[in-house]
Structure formats: C-alpha cells, structure tokens
Structure 1
Amino acid sequence: MSHGQLLKGKRALVTGSTSGIGLAIARSLAAEGAEVVLNGFGDEAQIAALCAELGATHSGADLTDPAQIAAMMDAAGEIDILVNNAGMQHVAPVEDFPVEKWDTIIALNLTAAFHTTRLAVPAMKRKGWGRIINTASAHSKVASPFKSAYNSAKHGLDGFTKTVALELAEHGVTANCISPG
C-alpha cells in the first residue's frame, strides 16, 4: 500500500480537533487517507480553512451535551476511528472549586468519551474493525494539587479505556489511552 493511503476508506472523528493535539492527530489521519470529521470550537473562517486543507467536515457540537453528541455522531455516519481528545482544565483548591466547573470538566473530559464510544461501537463491531483512542494526560497516572476535576476525569478516562478494550478485544476493535506529558 502506498504511503498516505493506509487509512483510505476509513472515517475518523477527532474531538477537540480545531487546535492543538487534536488538530495534529486529524492532520496525521487525513495524511494517511482517512476521511476526517473535525469537532471543536473556534473562528469559523479558520475552521472552514482547516476543512478545505484536510478535505474534512466539521461539527461544532458541544460535548457537554449528550443530545449534541448524539446528533454529531448521527451526522458523521459510521466511524472507524474515534479519537476522544477534547478537554479542558481549571485550577483551584478543592474547597473553592466551582461546582459548575467540576461538572463541565467531568462532562467534557470523561462523559463525552462514553457517549461517543457507545455510539461508535455498534458499527465497529459489525465491521469487525475499529480504533478508539482516548487522549488522557500524565494526570491519568499521577495527581497534582488543585486539579481535582481534571485528575478525576483523566483517571476515569484511563479506567474507561481499559474496560472498553477488554469488552471489544474479541471484535477486532482496539481501545487505547494516550497520556501526553
């Protein structure tokens, strides 16, 4: 197979892919021939330029909202490669941690991955092939102070990934957690 076509015919959804690590992952997948669906917020003109550059489509779904996740997954069609990369951080002592920030961080960094995964898995199992990649953090292995929600979400994402990997091992679907830093 020629270089750049390893993933031809595969559809990849990368959350949090309008910048940073997610955008780098999306570019790599597109370079290997995958049809890429970007997800994230940002300047509309910049996102349109990224879509043109990568031959990608874009969903601006808010991943803290399960209904928007479901609509994004439905619009994306059958996903072969799912990269749960979206995340956010807030730093505060636990006694001062804003409750709404806790809820948002857990929803975005952990619960969103559950929703995208549960919706992508049936097609992956039916095809006998799929790749689920969750971007965690060094904070999925060790904690640091003042990051209670982030540490909790990333530790949870690591455990969730291990569970999904065990459930799907006999179906040709792999699940891996990457922990940068």
Structure 2
Amino acid sequence: GYRGSPLVWPIGAKSVGRVQSATLRLICQREQLIISFRPETYYSVWVLYNEGFKAFYKKSRQSKPSNSANESHTAHDDAVSSNDDSTPESDRVQDPKEADRLVGIARNNPHQIIHIEAKTTAIKPPPPLTTSTLQQAAGSRLSLSPERTMQLAQKLYEQGHITYMRTDSVILS
C-alpha cells in the first residue's frame, strides 16, 4: 500500500494498494487469456422431436468397473449429462464428416427413450419495487411522470392492491 506507492511514482504509476494490485493482476491474467484465444469450428448435434423436446449428442462415457455390485452406470450417446447446467448442450464434434454421420444415424434409425430426467425448477419472483424503481419502470415502460406514478400507486394502495410504495427497502415493499 503506502510503502509501495513511492516506488512506482518514478515510472509513472500513481499508486499501488493491496486491493488495486490484486485486481490489476486478475485483469492482466484475463487479458492474456483473451489474447491467446483461438476460435475453433465445431458442431453441436441434437434432435428436435415433434413432442417438443430435444435430445443432445453425448459421447459414450465408459465407466470404470466398480467394486460395488449395486452400482451400475451406463451412458448413452443421446443422454444429457448429469451436471447441474441449466441448459444442456451437445458434446462438440470437431469433424464435419463425423457430424454428418451422426445426423444420418439419427435420421435413419428409430429412437428409443432410455432415460428421462425430470427436474423441478423454482423461478423466484422479482424483488418488490422500491419508490425509485417503481418510478423508473413506470417512466420507461408506460411513459408516466414520477408524480403521476405516485398518484396511481397511492390509489392502488388505498384500494388494497399493493403494499406501501414509499420506501427504499425491498423488505418493507
């Protein structure tokens, strides 16, 4: 911090600090990754069924033999990975001929559902509006002035449709 700053003044730097230096290092590392990035062409193979769901190509993952007799794991080409990603994706296929071959197999062979994984997802509602976010939303979406917004909000509050709207706390909103 304060001991390092005088050392960098002669080379044109203004200051150094325990947070500033660590942050600068992270920025430089990220910039080096960006500079060294080389784009690759790849193909994602998937099937869209008439019923409205997709099946993604996954390479067969041969599991190692396990010591437990009741532990059985098989992976299938079209099995969606069991990781926690919210959007499953096909394994990347680098070769266009291989991608065409996989598409041909998918088109010319009957498909059988081997495994269905159902997930229950909870979508949290947006946080309640504070006075300022209410006025901003009404202004940008409905072209209402802050005064008109508060008049309408007051009427809604008096009729019991909304909670108290003059607050800067989402807990009290």
Report TM bin, short chain: under 0.3
> Which one has a bigger Cα radius of gyration?
2
Tell me which of the two structures has the higher relative contact order, counting C-alpha pairs closer than 8 angstroms and 6 or more residues apart. Answer: 1
Normalization by structure 1: what TM-score? 0.17
Normalization by structure 2: what TM-score? 0.17
Structure with the larger strand share? 1
